[in-house]
Amino acid sequence: MTCPNCRKDIVEYSNFCSFCGARQTETSAGNRVGPKRLMRSLTDSKLGGVCGGLAEYFGVDSGIMRIAMTLITIASGFLPGVLFYVVAWVILPVAPSPYSPAVSHAPAGAGPAAPAH
Angle of helix 62-75 relative to helix 79-91, nearest 10 degrees, comes to: 130
Residue 104 has pLDDT above 90, yes or no: no
Q: Do 96 and 10 contact (CB within 8 A), yes or no? A: no
Higher pLDDT, 64 or 5: 64
Q: Name the β-bridge partners of 2.
A: 9
Helix (H, G, I), strand (E, B) or coil at 101: coil
CB 20 within 8 A of CB 30: no
CA distance 112 to 114: 6
The whole-model pTM stands at 0.57
